[in-house]
Amino acid sequence: MNVLETIASSGANAAENESCGISFSEKVRIFSHDYLKCCRYIAAFTTPQHFFTKKLYSTLISSSQLLEDFLDFHGAKNSKDWFFYRELCAAVRHLGAAGYSQKHISNRLDFYFLSDTDEFEREGAETLDFLTNTLMKMAPVILNEAKRLNIQLPTDDYKADDFPGVTTSEMLPYDIDDLDKESQKENIVYIASEFLNIARSFDQLGFYDPYDIQEIMSIIPDKVNEVKMRSFEMMVHNLQSQFDTYVIHGGYLFGNRKMKQLRGHFSVVFHLLQVIGRLLHFYERHLHDAGYKNIYKQVSDRLSELIDSQRLLDRTINYGLYYVCHFLTTGKELAREILNENIEKGSITVGIPQKLGFHSRPSLLVAKIVQHYGGHVELCIDKDRFDASSVLDIQWAGGKIQKENIIHVVFQGDIRALRDIEVLSEVNYGEDTMGKGIPLPQELNYLK
């Protein structure tokens, strides 16, 4: 037997000894212990206020995930006897994770430097009440299901002292500066631009007013679903990581207030997307009618009796998604202001589109370049200035250009956009002399 075979045999024997040493019934008791201990603690609540701390949520999440993994490994998804216990465990994990993120928002809201947050705070409290009351409603059902399965309940109990809140009246001394450095500018420009791009991408959802339940049901999961929200969550998470690594490494109470306020906008959006992702996952996977029959439908119906799916969707859309759109929109002006304070500016002189001038196609392509980078760019003709991010403004300039037989124009502003406008001008702004579109250079692929 060679070395690899010896190692494999040793590992197999260890696994076999582990599986034979302790029975399933004993292991399910062990893996259920902390989870059921939390459930018994929650079942004793008469009100959720002050009891659901981040530490309690964290314990719920970790213990339910460990138990869910154990049950899945042993085939609970395909067992009539164990499937409901497994689904309750998944519900606790996802609702607990949503509650953790919402609790984080509540704890950190004063540090986000956002304006006019009274209504947002009220809606957040309402969302947290829904989540905590749902968990309280589920806890005794979980305990009863454990008894039915002959799982021994814990003999000890958690106490409130085991789950203190994270906030105190004390703060550690602020003795590490996070002063601006010249080298930060490139990263600041990237972050502000990316924030604007994410906000622009989110505009496609067009969600700026609350929906009734029929409207919500019409967009989930076809238009709004876990996969789409998770992709936005990752984009915002990357933005926050870039900020914390390269712009402000340390504290958030002092320093550049504008930058920290911008961070507040995408931080609250990130945590809202976490809430949305968890709730959508749970709805789509466990409550949404996906055509399954028999035991799967029966268990889904039992979960629906414990978890108000319409209320869950209302909080997901009319709170979570609504305020994601709100804070992305309100952060745009700040992002543009920060961007234009930090971009490198320049000026280029280029020819006009031959032979049709700045009609719709070239005007649109120039505007899309400027919008892509987010910095301010002007099309200059003598003393007249036109906003190069506006198709209409460029076409107005085109009228003056045609009238005065101008053959060259000047663009001033964000040097990143100017480079691409120069490239565009070299291919006659993407069209031939008859006005038909032609292929664009590879560096302008984002215009397609």
Distance of alpha carbon 9 from alpha carbon 432, whole angstroms: 70
237-291 tens-digit pLDDT: 999 999 988 887 554 545 578 888 999 999 999 999 999 999 999 999 888 765 5
Provide the CATH number for the domain around residue 414.
3.30.1340.10
In the chain, the amino acid numbered 231 is S
| pLDDT > 70 fraction of the chain, expressed in percent and rounded | 90
Q: Confidence band (pLDDT; 50, 70, 90) for 203?
A: confident
Distances (CA, A) of 287 to 77, 87, 95, 258, 379: 15, 10, 13, 42, 54
End of a domain among 310, 342, 374?
342
- Are residues 29 and 118 both part of a single domain? yes
| Domain membership flag for residue 175 | no
Asked if residue 278 belongs to a domain, the reply is yes
In a domain, 268, yes or no: yes
pTM listed for this prediction? 0.87
Which one, of 104, 95, 108, lies nearest residue 61 by Cα?
95
176 falls within a domain: no
* 126 shares its domain with 38: yes
Mean pLDDT over 85-113 rounds to: 95
Last residue of a domain, one of 154, 171, 202: 154
Count CA atoms closer than 13 A to 309's CA, side-chain side.
20
Collapse the DSSP code of 101 into the 3-class scheme (helix H, G, I; strand E, B; otherwise coil) and give the result. helix
Is the distance from CB of 441 to CB of 423 less than 8 angstroms?
yes
Helix axes 24-43, 83-108, angle to 10 degrees: 40
Residues 189 and 269 in one domain: yes
pLDDT tier at 47 (50, 70, 90 boundaries)? Answer: confident
Q: Is the residue at 104 inside a domain?
A: yes
Count up the domains in the chain and report the number.
3
Asked if pLDDT for residue 214 goes beyond 50, the answer is yes
pLDDT 10s digits, 387-432: 999 999 999 999 999 999 999 999 999 999 999 999 999 999 999 8
The mean predicted confidence, pLDDT, of the chain is 89
Q: Are residues 331 and 200 in the same domain?
A: yes
pLDDT at residue 440 is higher than 60: yes
Residue 8 maps to a domain: no
Same domain, yes or no: 325 and 205? yes
Mean pLDDT lowest among 153-162, 217-226, 249-258, 388-397: 249-258
* pLDDT for residue 8: 46
Q: Does residue 10 fall inside a structural domain?
A: no
CB-based contact 307:91 (threshold 8 Å): yes
- Chosen domain end from 322, 342, 362: 342
Average pLDDT over residues 328-350: 94
Which tokens hold the place of 89?
């465990």
User: Stretch 191-195: mean pLDDT, rounded?
Assistant: 94
Q: How far apart are CA 432 and CA 205, in angstroms?
A: 35
pLDDT higher than 90, residue 176: no
In a domain, 7, yes or no: no
Q: How high is the pLDDT of residue 293?
A: 61
Q: Using CA atoms, how far apart are residues 135 and 106, in angstroms rounded to an integer?
A: 19
Specify whether 241 is located in the same domain as 304. Answer: yes
For 250, the domain range is 182-342
189/328 same-domain check = yes
What is the 3-class SS of 360-406, one letter each residue?
HHHHHHHHHHHHHHCCCEEEEECCEEEECCCHHHHHHHHHHHHHCCC
Same domain, 89 and 222: no
Q: Which of 94, 87, 127, 121 lies closest to 107 in space, CA to CA? A: 121
What's the pLDDT band for 205 if we cut at 50, 70, 90? confident
Residue 411 is predicted with a pLDDT of: 97
The reply to whether 337 and 355 lie within a common domain is no
Is the pLDDT score of 377 beyond 60?
A: yes
Closest CA to 211 of 89, 318, 82: 318
What pLDDT, on the 0 to 100 scale, is given for residue 296? 83
Distance CA 163, CA 181 (A): 41
Q: Check whether residue 324 and residue 349 sit in a common domain.
A: no
Higher pLDDT, 13 or 429: 429
**Whole-angstrom distance between the N-terminal and C-terminal Cα of the chain?**
60
Q: How far apart are CA 182 and CA 215, in angstroms?
A: 49
Look at the alpha carbons of 117, 243, 191, 194 in this order and tell me if their dihedral is positive or negative: negative
Both 385 and 254 in one domain: the answer is no
Paired tokens of 204: 């496609």
297-311 confidence digits (pLDDT tens) = 889 889 999 999 999
Domain identity same for 212 and 145: no
